[in-house]
Amino acid sequence: MDLEYFSKLDKLDMVKHSRNHEDLESLGGRLRRRRKELGWTQMFLAEQVGTSQAVIQKIENGKSLRPRILEQIADSLDVKPAWLMFGVEEVGELNEEAIELARAWARLSEPHRSAMKDAILKIGTG
């Protein structure tokens, strides 16, 4: 095995780690992670909450950020809606400013969200 092989493995590990880290940073990622922990397909979850597989797919892929069926999904997955939305067990764990920012974030279009994320990360690591 040559150095190029190990370089490719390192890149693959970085991508996997990045995906796992991102999984818990979004509503869709948390939903996907919990669904897979339970061994459920998107179709099975959809049947549990009375919707279509396409709706679950859109939520997991970040195309639907404020699903109307959030409480039903949380109940089916045996998690709290606050954990799905914000990654915390109780909304009370977030201060008002964080909740306000999360709501504003959900209203941003994807290009704006991406630009804001980049700016915040740049400032935060500066």
Domain boundaries, the chain: 9-88, 95-126
* 14 contacts 46 by C-beta, under 8 angstroms: no
* 122 contacts 65 by C-beta, under 8 angstroms: no
Q: What pTM, to 2 d.p., does this model score?
A: 0.56
Cα distance between residue 34 and residue 91, in whole Å: 19
55 burial type by CB count under 10 A (0-12 exposed, 13-18 middle, 19+ buried): buried
pLDDT tens for each residue of 44-103: 999 999 999 999 999 999 887 666 888 899 999 999 888 888 887 765 656 777 777 777
Give Cα 24 distance to the centre of its chain.
5
Q: In this structure, which topology does domain 9-88 adopt according to CATH? A: 434 Repressor (Amino-terminal Domain) (1.10.260)
Residue showing tokens 């818990």? 24
